[in-house]
Structure 1
Amino acid sequence: MRHTPGWQSPDPRTVEIAPLDLVERADDALAVQALAFGLTDDEIGVRHHIVQRHAMQPGTRALGATTENGRLVGFGYGMPCDRTHWWSTVVHPYLRQEGNDGWLDDSFVVTELHVHPAFQSRGIGRELITRLTDGAAEPRSLLSALDLDSPARALYRTLGYRDLARRVQFPSAPQPYAVMGAWLPLRRPEGR
């Protein structure tokens, strides 16, 4: 497991989830994404501009998970779906083929959700996505995830997301994705 020099894994109970300034913390967020998703330096550079642009979109909401010393260990952000945005134009034909293109209307898209590998499987991702979507004005949510069985896809299913389209191919992405959708609010474990 890669660690940043000087990294110490604090007690996960001390992680606080709060609104995140994407413009100010873009480098920190992308460092988490790079570790969680295995990004190259070139991919980080491209995504830096995308994150900055997304941060300025109307309705964008971002949350971060930080340790007591302010280190970002997880983040998520999203925005109301806009059929003219790049992501929507790529997924639209796949959703239409499955009869699900109506999901592009009145949905909140979870654009990114990543947790540092040392902090995964501790409920941070679940807390980030549920708080993020709880603040959405839209009645449902969309996201895309690698189209394979993974802990992330398993989490999304427990929250109520279901596959709307599979084998979605994004330009320059070597692996296909699945587009998933859920009605809001997301499911909670019993007793919560």
Structure 2
Amino acid sequence: MIQLRRVGPDRFRAVLDTVLEIYTVAMRPPSDQLAGRMAIMRNHSTYPDFDCVLAEDAQAPGGVAAFAYGFHGGRGQWWHDVVRGALQDRAGPVVAEDWFGDALEIAEIHVRPEYQGRGIGRRLIHTLCEGRPERTAVLSTHDAPTVARHLYRDVGFADLMTRFVFPGGYEEYVIAGVRLPLPERAAREG
């Protein structure tokens, strides 16, 4: 049975090996990127108002079937600065401030493949967003018709930018946002 549990930075860092393993099986990144990803995740846990939700199951490797985490975005954070700047260039400073001036930045949501299709991702999003004081929640995902993109739209996220390529990258992403609290329909179905 899956139990969701909110954890803070210390517990997150204690299960970081398991979290990275879930990220690896869910995303299948090149192995040479894993050390960097671990450093990024560890650094994220130091950001303001960091919050993580673990989907725990005794049958899952390391006892964790899925995870999601986010934090209050702000100037000086790489993703925040890059994405906010791009949105400002595309849509103007008022729109950028509206979406990024007080945002929960959802950095990672990953579910082990054998646990996908059970509504765990939806539950993680709702739990992570529940009770947050921010005005908006924002995230990035591949700009393709993926299960994740469908889920985010279904929960209420709208595309803020499409075909966005991060500096030094080549893959296209969507930057999406939703007003908090999450829309009622999405919350009831979670």
TM class, shorter-length: 0.7 to 0.9
Residue aligning to 2:160: 164
1:22 is paired with a residue whose SS is: helix
Equivalent of residue 141 in structure 1, options 137, 148, 154: 137
Q: Which amino acid aligns with 1:17?
A: L
CA distance in 2, matches of 1:24, 1:74: 15
2:16 is aligned with 1:18 = no
Q: What is the rounded CA distance, in whole Å, between the counterparts of 2:189 and 2:79 in structure 1?
A: 36
Measured in 1, the distance between the counterparts of 2:181 and 2:155 equals: 9
Q: TM-score, normalised by structure 2?
A: 0.88
Deviation at 1:170, TM superposition (A): 1.4
Are residue 43 (structure 1) and residue 33 (structure 2) matched?
A: yes
Counterparts of residues 92-131 of structure 1 (less than 5 Å): 92-96=84-88, 97-99=90-92, 100-102=95-97, 103-131=99-127
Give the Cα separation in 2 of the matches to 1:44 and 1:126: 26
Query: Is the Cα contact below 8 Å between 1:83 and 1:104 reproduced in 2?
Result: no
Partner of residue 5, structure 1: none
TM-score, normalised by the number of residues in structure 1: 0.87
Superposition deviation, residue 175 in structure 1: 1.0
Runs of 5+ unmatched residues, structure 1: 1-13
User: Does the 8 A contact of 2:66 with 2:110 survive in 1?
Assistant: yes
Q: Is the 8 A contact 1:106 1:140 kept in 2?
A: yes
Whole-Å Cα distance in 1 between the matches of residues 175 and 189 of structure 2?
Answer: 29
Residues 145 and 177, structure 1, Cα contact 8 Å, conserved in 2 = yes
* Mapped contact 2:56–2:65 kept (Cα < 8 A): yes
* Two-structure CA RMSD over aligned residues (Å): 1.6
Task: Tell me how far 1:191 sits from its aligned partner.
Answer: 6.3
Structure with greater helix share of residues: 2
1-side partners of 2:74 and 2:151: how far apart? 25
Runs of 4+ in 1 over 4 A off after TM superposition: 189-192
Residue in structure 2 matching 1:57, options 47, 50, 64: 47
Instruction: Give the SS at the match of 1:182.
Output: strand
Distance 2:16 2:42 in 1: 7
**Structure 2 unaligned residues grouped into runs of 5+:** none
**Residues 53, 124 of structure 2: 8 Å contact kept:** yes
SS in 2 for 1:126: helix
- What percentage of aligned pairs have identical amino acids? 31
Determine the C-alpha separation between the residues in 2 that align with 1:110 and 1:76: 8
User: Matched residue of 2:13: which SS?
Assistant: coil
Number of residue-to-residue matches in the alignment:
179
Query: Residue 175 of structure 1 aligns to which amino acid in structure 2?
Result: E
